[in-house]
Structure 1
Amino acid sequence: MRKTLALVCALLVSGAGGVAAAADDIPRTPSGKPDFTGRYDIRSLTPFERRPERGEELVLSPEEAAEVEANQRQRVLDGDAASAPDRPPPEKGAFIDRQSYNYAWFDPGHTMFRIDGKYRTSILTNPPNGRMPPLTEEAQKNRGALPRFIWMNDDGTAWWLESGDTPFDSPETMVLGVRCIYQPGASIPIRTISYNNLKTLVQTDDYLMIHIEWMHWTRVVRIDAEHSPAAYQSYSGDSIGRWEGDTLVVETANFRREAAPQMFHGRTSAGVPRGAMKVTERFSPIDGKSLLYQFEVEDEEHTAPFGGEMPWPKTDQYNYEYACHEGNYSMLGQLRGARQLEKEWIAAGKPVKAESE
């Protein structure tokens, strides 16, 4: 019967920006709704924001995309090259700046994504230039008033003793990223990141669970429900969903405002939600092997809304347990290093701001 209907109907329009899927290709729940249950690998070299010189160009040529992908392959080869065994050690007493991991630890993908068969210049599509809208004047003032330690100024000294800041007093004064508690850019709106890009979806008639690989964060969307009271807040907000045809529309509010400057030294990823704002996401089936993810953000700190879209291809790979918090030896090293820098600062007779000042 389904095959007969499929021949008659031919295509079922998903309502997701012109994306269509054959009806018999879409996994469905017993109630007939698309079933998004599965694991998705959203790695992509397509950037979140468009390069300024591209203007309002939405697509890349196949040749341009091939060049980006070739450059990435070379970057991986260069990053995996062995370090010179005869390189000299750092100068004794010199400050060693924080350097990144070897490239083997990164996994941003090796291809750019396509929508309707065309490579995209960015995930962001609104504004039309694919760039984040400017901050409001008030938001700019708020960012400028952030404590120095929020912006980190690693000069190899215990500068906080002079300024009165407390960046390394205890684990609780360190930012959420360092504490391995929450990764905003990976969670909502969902975007590609440097590694751990798998998402696991589990769906019933009443709920959609979105498990975020990076930092082991889980979002639960209540379908056909009302928002919880505003006092109920979370780093990733309170999500409710509704069906519009075969598209699941998810609206999220009630974000914890105080979490924003605590994300990653105040330099939050572009598009990370905070405070009194609203995020609308759309999950639409493309076929039985992928879905289209779209988002729109209404943010009081920006002068205009912004949004974008990207495909989510299914994968047979499993999420990697992100046991960062349990094995957070780096944070212990930072706290121990801060105590050493404080000893050196005091021994040098440098000024120390009293707690009462």
Structure 2
Amino acid sequence: MTTRFISSAAIAACVLIPSLGALVLTVGTAAPAQAQAPAQATAIPRMTDGKPDFSGIYTPPSTVNATGPRGNLIFNADKMAPVKPGAESLLYRPRTGDARLDEPRAMCLPSGFPSGMLYILPIQIVQNTKYIVITPELQRYSRIIPLDGRPHRDGLEPSYYGDSVGKWDGDTLVVDTVNFKPWILDDYHYTDRTKSRWHSDALHTIEHLTLKGDKLLYKVTIDDPKIFERPFSQDFELTSRPDWDSIGLLEYACEAGNRCPGGNCRANEGQ
């Protein structure tokens, strides 16, 4: 497993920059405390068109109001919608002993979405006025998302990451994704070693991305009418790391087929 080593330089001094607005006082008169301008929220970076600029590297997401730290994130069962009668077999699949199904990443297969966004490695976002590109360090599968509000494309083959289109709702980026192939929903199989959680080909996701200080607020809504009675949402937070910009994402390499013939791994062959 790749280990990231980061060293941060200590800040030797703080420089306070006064406001551009000058405060004019009459000689011998003190300014009342209540007359001072209130502190303003930190301005978010913006593109030339005035839209928020998400460009940068972000640490792995954490759950909002989490009860404790964990590695790979999963959806909170308490916030998931009820499962439709008879759909349990679509959501929960027993572990088979075949790593291609039980843990596709071990065989260099894509994590898919939304699982890939909830992994323990950072992501990088690159943006211009026409597109936003989200690249996890894991596997380096980039999502290239148009920002002009265009409709979904017709006639595409279903894919691990689906077909995504974006539009703006004020300062929030809304990403709509459809056309998935059935795949792993999250990393539940690390919590319950007997089974994994999947989504169907009817999955429809809506993501909301909002900048707030050094946080990227990330809300994802899962709508899978073949499995769940109704859509459900969960909120996550990612933290901006401008000090990682000079390093960038680390190279990710994966070798398939050199071990575990047929996906049947023995204990000493796991990678």
Structure 1 stretches lacking a partner, 5+ long = 12-21, 47-57, 73-107, 110-121, 154-166, 341-357
Residue 174 to residue 30, structure 1, CA distance change in 2 (3 Å): same
Residue 30 to residue 338, structure 1, CA distance change in 2 (3 Å): closer
Residue 298 to residue 142, structure 1, CA distance change in 2 (3 Å): closer
Match of 2:111 among 167, 179, 183: 183
Matches for 1:148-227 after TM superposition, within 5 Å:
151-153=95-97, 176-184=104-112, 187-188=113-114, 191-193=117-119, 195-196=120-121, 198-224=122-148, 225-227=150-152
Q: Are the counterparts in 2 of residues 252 and 279 from structure 1 also a CA contact under 8 Å?
A: yes
Q: Are the counterparts in 2 of residues 188 and 273 from structure 1 also a CA contact under 8 Å?
A: no
1:237 has 2:162 as partner: yes
Residue 285 to residue 242, structure 1, CA distance change in 2 (3 Å): same
Q: Which residue of 1 aligns with 2:51?
A: 33
CA separation in 2, counterparts of 1:268 and 1:123? 11
Match of 1:284 among 197, 210, 215: 210
**RMSD (Å) for aligned C-alpha atoms:** 4.0
Matches for 1:1-357 after TM superposition, within 5 Å:
22=41, 25-44=43-62, 46=63, 59=65, 68=68, 108=71, 130-142=78-90, 151-153=95-97, 176-184=104-112, 187-188=113-114, 191-193=117-119, 195-196=120-121, 198-224=122-148, 225-257=150-182, 259-260=183-184, 267-269=195-197, 273-287=199-213, 289-300=214-225, 301-315=227-241, 316-317=243-244, 318-324=248-254, 327-328=255-256, 331-335=257-261
What is the DSSP-based 3-state SS (H/G/I as helix, E as strand, rest coil) of the residue aligned with 2:158?
coil
Structure 2 stretches lacking a partner, 5+ long = 1-18, 22-35, 267-271
Tell me the CA shift for residue 306 of structure 1. 1.5
Residue 235 to residue 3, structure 1, CA distance change in 2 (3 Å): farther
Counterpart residue identity of residue 135, structure 1: V
TM-score, normalising length: structure 1: 0.52
What is the DSSP-based 3-state SS (H/G/I as helix, E as strand, rest coil) of the residue aligned with 1:138?
coil
Q: Are the counterparts in 1 of residues 145 and 166 from structure 2 also a CA contact under 8 Å?
A: yes
Tell me the CA shift for residue 337 of structure 1. 9.4
CA displacement, residues 162-190 of structure 1 (integer Å, 9 cap, x when unaligned): xxxxx59xx8x997333212113xx4266
What is the DSSP-based 3-state SS (H/G/I as helix, E as strand, rest coil) of the residue aligned with 2:223?
strand
What is the DSSP-based 3-state SS (H/G/I as helix, E as strand, rest coil) of the residue aligned with 1:177?
helix
CA displacement, residues 134-166 of structure 1 (integer Å, 9 cap, x when unaligned): 32223224468x7xxx7225xxxxxxxxxxxxx
Q: Which residue of 2 aligns with 1:78?
A: none
Counterpart residue identity of residue 151, structure 1: R
Pairs aligned (count)? 223
CA separation in 2, counterparts of 1:337 and 1:233? 24
CA separation in 2, counterparts of 1:299 and 1:176? 21
Q: Which has the higher helix share?
A: 1
